Amino acid sequence: MGYDTVAKTDPDSVIDEEWGGMWFLKEPLATEELGISILELEPGGKGMEHAEAESGQEEVYYVVEGRVDVDLTDAGETVTLETDEAIRLDPEESRQILNQYDERAKLVLVGAPL
């Protein structure tokens, strides 16, 4: 077959529902090198602080709805992203996504290679 389809909620969320949800779509879509995830964060929610140095994965975060802060812990700075804005991150850059605002945020996270 030349394509695969998936619904966001076909895989289980990897974070507690009270904070929103995060769904990894790589496996259900059977992608070889491209990782794609949907992240929804309730106000006060946050993603895991991490870097991708071991995997060599470059990541792009695109905000579909809402606003988030991306803490770049190694650089000692925070980047605020609003709806329809994106950031690209080097694998070595330690990062954490935070929703410190009053509305739910929804992001598409893309990374390669895996």
Q: pLDDT tens-digit profile of 65-112? A: 999 999 999 899 999 999 999 999 999 999 999 999 999 999 999 999
What is the domain-level CATH number for residue 30? 2.60.120.10
pTM, two decimal places: 0.93
Q: What is the pLDDT of residues 40-71, one digit of tens each?
A: 999 999 998 999 999 899 999 999 999 999 99
Quote the domain boundaries for residue 57: 17-112
Separation between Cα atoms, residue 51 and residue 65, nearest integer Å: 24
DSSP at 46: B
Answer whether residue 8 is part of any domain: no
Q: Confirm whether 4 is domain-assigned.
A: no
Tell me if 12 is assigned to some domain: no
Q: Which residue has the tokens 């954490």?
A: 96
Return the residue matching tokens 């990894």: 24
Residue 31 belongs to some domain of the structure? yes
Residue 3 lies in a domain: no
In a domain, 68, yes or no: yes
Strand order in the sheet with 67-72: 77-82, 67-72, 95-98
